[in-house]
Amino acid sequence: MSDIEFPDEFGQPLLRSGIADHVWRLKETDPEAFRAKVIAYFALCYPGWRVVRAQYPTIYLQDERGQKA
């Protein structure tokens, strides 16, 4: 079994990051706006990383740089 705490499907670690509380509040009131804001934020700040899960207070990102077929 892997010793990596949060592996992706290839066994690579997921990056753990966060967002502001005002964005988290959108998750309850407007889930689509929350999703769009999180994806847009990380596309700008972490190009090549994909949001795979949002579990308060952590956003999990998968590195997709260099995995283009």
The closest of 63, 65, 67 to 15, measured between CA atoms, is 63
pLDDT band at 2; cut points 50, 70, 90 = very low
Residue 15 pLDDT greater than 70, yes or no: yes
| Region 6-22 average pLDDT | 83
Average pLDDT (16-45) is: 97
Cis peptide upstream of residue 57 (ω within 30 degrees of 0)? yes
- Domains of the chain by residue range: 20-63
Q: How far is it, in rounded angstroms, from Cα 18 to Cα 58? A: 5
Q: What residues contact residue 38 under an 8 Å CB cut-off, 6+ apart?
A: 19, 23, 51, 54, 59
Residue 48, pLDDT score:
94
